[in-house]
Amino acid sequence: MSGDLADGIRGTIEAIYRQESRRVFATLVRLLGDFDIAEEALHDAFRAALEQWPRDGVPANPRAWLVSTGRFKAIDGMRRRSRFEALPDEVAEQLADDLADPSGLDGEAVEDDRLRLIFTCCHPALSPDAQVALTLREVCGLTTEEIARAFLTAAPTLAQRIVRAKAKIRDARIPYQVPAREDLPVRLDAVLRVVYLVFNEGYSASFGNALMRHDLSTEAIRLGRLLIELLPDPEVLGLLALMLLHESRRSARSSPEGELILLDEQDRTLWNRDQIAEGLSLVSRALASRYVGPYALQAAIAAVHAEAPSANATDWAQITGLYEVLLRAEPSPVVELNRAVAVAMRDGPAAGLALVDAIVVEGVLADYHLAHAARADLCRRLGRTAEARAAYQRALSLVKQDAERRFLERRLRELPD
């Protein structure tokens, strides 16, 4: 095989890894019954692909080939380590059955594996923090460092949390399945929180060169659709609506050079109208319920932005009111900050700055770069240049994302001396 063709196949393998690795992993967890063994099998399968595909060509069904190969290598490894005989007979029979036949590995069961895995990771036997961390790591493939940043937690602490969660699942024999319908409502909150965190990491990456990670936000939306098929709860509708309405702005959020463009400066003709229409329809369905939860309220706020023909025409009074309802439903310093920004747009920067200062003084958001960036912007608009400069510098000392850093540096340079 020529070098160019081999390079092309390696590029194909890399693309398949990005797109399919977590689906393959979820199926391997179902087949092998162990997170760590499945993770090792996943990497063994891709190593085999790097060795064989350049020689033999890409198989017709890459995902099924990877699942079958990973399962075979895992079982072979267990046999070599003399651990296979220690497995229960029924498990051994299941693992050894049809090793070389991938025909049953890419149907509806495989498509549902990630949903099964989410509910396993979000089992009530695990603490809420462990549920989220484990799902982000095992279902979505985020690194420990990425999850730690999302949690504002040290990476070693986060890693230990994940290890303990896996041990709990193994020792408690937590089943790998979607819960019965009557059990779904009590299990849903953690799942929705996880899906939203995944979307947020994709929509606005916590660190690195890329402002957005389309693979993660697309996966979160896909998981949201699966959840609606399973349980069309108003909060599930609200979460999918929220993700679609945010995702609709993707093309307008950055310049061709990758620079961040704020909402009020975006070219709204670039917004995805199909996603907006679907999001607005879902918001209407969610708000028709007697119970309106936090995701539906956030989706309603996003809907007001989506319906505004321009930034100046945005109904900031309605947005402020929705934030006040959201604060009662789910009190949070970040929601308080967002409400303060909305008040600044409705009543002027001085009113907003007073609220932001009160939040910053409390100290909960002392290390949250967006709180300092919001304060800097309000000071800039009020002509309080020295305070604006100090706030921008504080935000810069905390930001991890390159596009956001460049934006803050640009704003800092634009301040008058």
Distance of CA 184 to the CA centre of its chain: 21
The size of the chain, in residues, is 417
Name the nearest CA neighbour of 306 among 318, 292, 294: 318
φ, ψ at 325 (rounded to 5°): -65, -40
Distance between CA 189 and CA 285 in Å, rounded? Answer: 19
Distance CA 191, CA 117 (A): 11
Burial of 153 (0-12, 13-18, 19+ CB in 10 A): middle
Q: Is residue 89 a contact partner of residue 150, using CB atoms and an 8 Å limit?
A: no
Q: Would you state the structure tokens that stand for residue 33, as one six-digit string?
A: 């019954």
Higher pLDDT, 204 or 252: 252
pLDDT digits (tens, 9 = 90+) for 293-323: 999 999 999 999 999 999 889 999 999 999 9
Structure tokens at 184: 């779904």
pLDDT above 70 covers what percent of the chain? 89
pLDDT band at 110 (very low <50, low <70, confident <90, very high): low
Distance spanning both ends of the chain, measured CA to CA: 63
**Helices marked H in 265-401:** 273-287, 294-307, 316-329, 333-347, 349-362, 369-382, 385-398
Domain locations in the chain as residue ranges = 3-106
How far apart are alpha carbons 20 and 22 in whole angstroms? 6
Q: For the range 384-393, what are the long-range contacts, defined as Cβ-Cβ under 8 Å and sequence gap of 24 or more?
A: 385/415, 385/416, 388/415, 389/415
Does the structure show a pLDDT above 80 at 386? yes
Instruction: Give the closest residue to 374 by CA, choosing from 401, 346, 344.
Output: 344
CA–CA separation, 352 and 262 (whole Å) = 18
Question: Nearest 10 degrees: CA dihedral of 348, 353, 359, 361?
Answer: -160
Q: What is the mean pLDDT of the chain?
A: 87
pLDDT of residue 104 exceeding 50, the answer is: no
Instruction: Answer whether residue 391 shows pLDDT above 80.
Output: yes
Quick one: pLDDT at residue 281? 97
Q: Is the pLDDT of residue 96 over 70?
A: no
pLDDT value at 100 more than 60:
no
